[in-house]
Structure 1
């Protein structure tokens, strides 16, 4: 059994910094057709094993401690032990966002660091399935996965990709279940509203929005992104305007759809117009949206009621999200990362999941909240994540990592799993 005292002795008595340096060199040295380099690698590998052997012979749990010390810092090891003490079980599946989580435009040239990719492959080799969970298209993610993780891992049957924020799930090697289009389950009424919004979003946009932004997503995830640098004042102003525009566009589409369907008055007669009602609905649900509407002077006030049941029912199935100076988005509440991850678990046969969920955005937050509510996982977020995500990560297990350093959390969880193996 490993205790805090054991870890103190380990990290005080041995040069674990040098041990980790040898381990990283042995793990990450790229293939080079050079006898000199090979001999240097062999000497480093022999020295690594010599240092590990000293630890193996000094502790009852020496094999575990040698492995932990060769990859985890002192702080990571103590965090890992505390996590296992708190949760009492190992992580059995990884759920990983890509952009601004595994990779970060601000610190890693927008590439996933080699040490992060290696850590993921080590989890896979230990029998932990991997779910890549992203807003990107399937083709984009497949390309990075095959190039970064390797075709063998991608096609092993233990990897799934939840793409376009829950539109579909791709799990190579699972026959008829390999590719599942989750939007097939959407009601035709919701599909028609999204088709309307998607078809009008750029053609009817004001000139400044058409020039200053571009469209991402698919027909069930309409995302407006700035052409300016994300986080800049120009991007912030543009996305604030885009949010108001998308809310009004959605309001028009819902009202027209309900009127065409012969619904019992989409808006109650004599009450506030449908645009004001839609703004109020989403402002009540999201304080960030309300702040934007208040700043722009278009918040309708708390007395903006009068939606019919039919109108409210539709809005409750459609999500509007705001990411300051980054994006404004309309999506389906039925096509979320949570729905995609649940389906991925089913395909991969993860019957009793305890997941590490890593992400930075509100769509990732829903997965984090889901595993927290069901006692099915741990959440981790980068320091630059959205405020709500950071608050959740800090309020649960305090797993917040520096920009571009997702590997720190992966190494912490790997150590946690090592401690768990001692008690099985």
Structure 2
């Protein structure tokens, strides 16, 4: 109990609130081209040094650690970090971070990653903890905001990796021929052929409301329809729901076409029966609706609400076997997309760890969606880390996080859990 006793003493006997305020001022508001600003910054630096010195003197041998913890973590964050240090007995050696609605939240941060969060990430980087950004976004989007937020020196340090498009590719600057790994090239011709068919037809065959209300995200492989309205708005919700139904039907046709061998004329998006008794038929769209509604309650709810859920549909074995390899993802008022089940975030993160040389990972995984849940479950099964989620995350994500370590943080405040892990990494070194 000595570490707990020392932590109680730290937060009971010292003005840790003032210490933390000075640390934040020094970190986030460096001196500007102003004598007044420089004076304020120097005064804060001096008071920070003095308060830290008092703590170092009061805790012989461990004072540097306790001063650093007090300067970064609140009382609750520090004790949670110590609980984790006691439970796992090892530091976090990698950060796996979703971006949208995790590092940044459109509702509270103007869709920007807060400066505090970015600074904490640079501190982890300076401490030698690799950063893996794991997102459904395109590589170009991620490269842009990472360079702007963390700086080119950090991004190109060889310790930052990007798992993009939910695991279709991995980009790790500074690793020569391993810098960019196109994981989708490892898929067989069957799956790649169907995705190519989807991409070619997804806009040209779309109903007018979807064609006008959505755009095709510039992915390298996945087929993702995004709304031309503000994410989360009623208009975005309506068009994404319609896009979901359309994608389900188009996927059914594309799969049926492929399984029929494309020996004759291809089917159109309109339902029709094949002359030769092959797979293509009036049921193509109903098969995919039935298949994914049975697997995903959110998709089932959209179909039910629109009165388009299939009843008593038997999916042919050949179609079912193929769809086992393809996933349809639905993000309310945000996106509808088709992805490969063989390419997901865990596959991408594993590839990123390999490039980064992380042989024995113990990662912090931050995320809010079902695709992030797969990473969380993977690291939990492997005993390879801990998971955290914002309070507005998908219910299944929150259920998992609360059933493990309970690391739920306020929307737009990923810094809360990063400070907890900062405390964990410091306190785990104290005997």
Structure 1 residues without counterparts, runs of 5 or longer: none
Give the corresponding residue for 2:313: 304
- In the TM superposition, residue 399 of structure 1 has moved relative to its aligned partner by 1.1
- In the TM superposition, residue 355 of structure 1 has moved relative to its aligned partner by 0.5
- In the TM superposition, residue 165 of structure 1 has moved relative to its aligned partner by 1.7
- In the TM superposition, residue 274 of structure 1 has moved relative to its aligned partner by 2.8
CA distance in 2, matches of 1:160, 1:333: 21
**Offset from partner CA, 1:149-195 (integer Å, 9 cap, x none):** 12221121111111222221111111111111111101111111111
Matches within 5 A, 1:7-406: 7-60=7-60, 61-218=62-219, 220-260=221-261, 267=279, 273-301=283-311, 303-308=312-317, 310-406=318-414
Deviates more, 1:111-120 or 1:248-257: 111-120
CA distance in 2, matches of 1:290, 1:26: 51
In structure 2, the CA distance between the partners of 1:32 and 1:265, relative to structure 1 (3 Å rule), is farther
Contact 1:84/1:416 (<8 A) preserved: yes
CA distance in 1, matches of 2:112, 2:184: 30
Contact 1:95/1:132 (<8 A) preserved: yes
Contact 1:2/1:419 (<8 A) preserved: no
CA distance in 2, matches of 1:101, 1:247: 28
* TM-score after normalising by structure 2: 0.92
Q: In structure 2, the residue corresponding to 1:98 is in which secondary structure?
A: coil
Q: In structure 1, the residue corresponding to 2:260 is in which secondary structure?
A: helix
CA distance in 1, matches of 2:278, 2:349: 34
CA distance in 2, matches of 1:268, 1:38: 73
Give the corresponding residue for 1:417: 425
In structure 2, the CA distance between the partners of 1:268 and 1:244, relative to structure 1 (3 Å rule), is closer
Contact 1:380/1:409 (<8 A) preserved: yes
CA distance in 1, matches of 2:390, 2:283: 41
In structure 2, the CA distance between the partners of 1:36 and 1:235, relative to structure 1 (3 Å rule), is closer
CA distance in 2, matches of 1:234, 1:268: 34
Contact 1:365/1:389 (<8 A) preserved: yes
Q: In structure 1, the residue corresponding to 2:365 is in which secondary structure?
A: strand
Q: In structure 1, the residue corresponding to 2:77 is in which secondary structure?
A: helix
Contact 2:236/2:334 (<8 A) preserved: yes
Contact 2:290/2:313 (<8 A) preserved: yes
In structure 2, the CA distance between the partners of 1:153 and 1:219, relative to structure 1 (3 Å rule), is closer
CA distance in 1, matches of 2:99, 2:2: 34
In structure 2, the CA distance between the partners of 1:182 and 1:31, relative to structure 1 (3 Å rule), is farther
- In the TM superposition, residue 3 of structure 1 has moved relative to its aligned partner by 3.0
CA distance in 1, matches of 2:244, 2:252: 12
In structure 2, the CA distance between the partners of 1:419 and 1:180, relative to structure 1 (3 Å rule), is same
Give the corresponding residue for 2:270: none
- In the TM superposition, residue 32 of structure 1 has moved relative to its aligned partner by 2.0
Contact 2:31/2:41 (<8 A) preserved: no
Contact 2:99/2:133 (<8 A) preserved: yes
- In the TM superposition, residue 235 of structure 1 has moved relative to its aligned partner by 2.5
Q: In structure 2, the residue corresponding to 1:166 is in which secondary structure?
A: coil
**Offset from partner CA, 1:24-57 (integer Å, 9 cap, x none):** 1111223523444334322221211111121122
In structure 2, the CA distance between the partners of 1:231 and 1:288, relative to structure 1 (3 Å rule), is same
**Offset from partner CA, 1:362-404 (integer Å, 9 cap, x none):** 2212111111111111111112222222222222211111122
* TM-score after normalising by structure 1: 0.93
Number of matched pairs? 418
**Offset from partner CA, 1:277-311 (integer Å, 9 cap, x none):** 2211111111111122222222223x422412x32
Give the corresponding residue for 1:6: 6
- In the TM superposition, residue 89 of structure 1 has moved relative to its aligned partner by 1.5
